[in-house]
Amino acid sequence: MRFRFADYVLDTDRRELTRGSERVQMGPQVFDLLVHLVENRERVVSKDDMLEAVWSGRIVSESTLTSHINAVRKAIGDNGEDQRLIRTVARKGFRFVGEIEEEQAPAKPAARTADHKKGQGEASRVASALTLPDARSIAVF
C-alpha cells in the first residue's frame, strides 16, 4: 500500500518513505510508528496503542516514545510547534492529520505463461523437477 501526503510517499510494501525522488532514512521502529499513525489517522492513537503496535507491549520509557515521535516528525518535515501533519492531543495521544491519498502498490510482473515455458524445453522440465514439496521434509546425507 502507498500513502501520499505533502511531498511524501510512504510505501508499506517496500518499507520506505520518499520525498520526491529522495529516500528518507529512518529506523525501523520510526517507520513502523509512522505507518501506525497513518493507518489510524481517523482516530487519536494513545501511547499504549503505539507501544503495543510498535514495541509489541515491551516496556519502553516515555523519553524513548517521545524521541521516536520527534524522529517521525523530523522525517516528514513536521515539528512539535506547527503540527501540520502529526497533532499532539494533550493527555490522549497523537493523530496524523495530513491529507492522504491511498493507492495500491504496482502489481508484480505476471508469472510466465505456459506458452513461454513450453518454449524453454529442457530447462523448463528440469526446473519443474527441482520444485520443493509443499510438506516439510528432511534430507540426510
- What 8-state DSSP symbol labels residue 28? H
Residue 2 CB coordination number (10 Å): 16
The predicted pLDDT at position 122 comes to: 54
The domain spans of the chain are: 2-103
Instruction: Compute the average pLDDT of residues 20-45.
Output: 97
The CATH number of 2-103 is 1.10.10.10
* pLDDT tens string 76-109: 999 889 999 999 999 999 999 999 999 886 666 6
The predicted pLDDT at position 107 comes to: 65
131: amino acid identity, one letter? T
* pLDDT tens string 108-130: 665 554 544 444 555 545 444 45
Asked if residue 132 has pLDDT above 90, the reply is no
What's the maximum distance between 2 C-alpha atoms anywhere in the chain?
Answer: 67
Task: Give the residue from 93, 79, 76 showing the smallest Cα distance to 4.
Answer: 76
Pairing of strands 22-24, 16-19: antiparallel
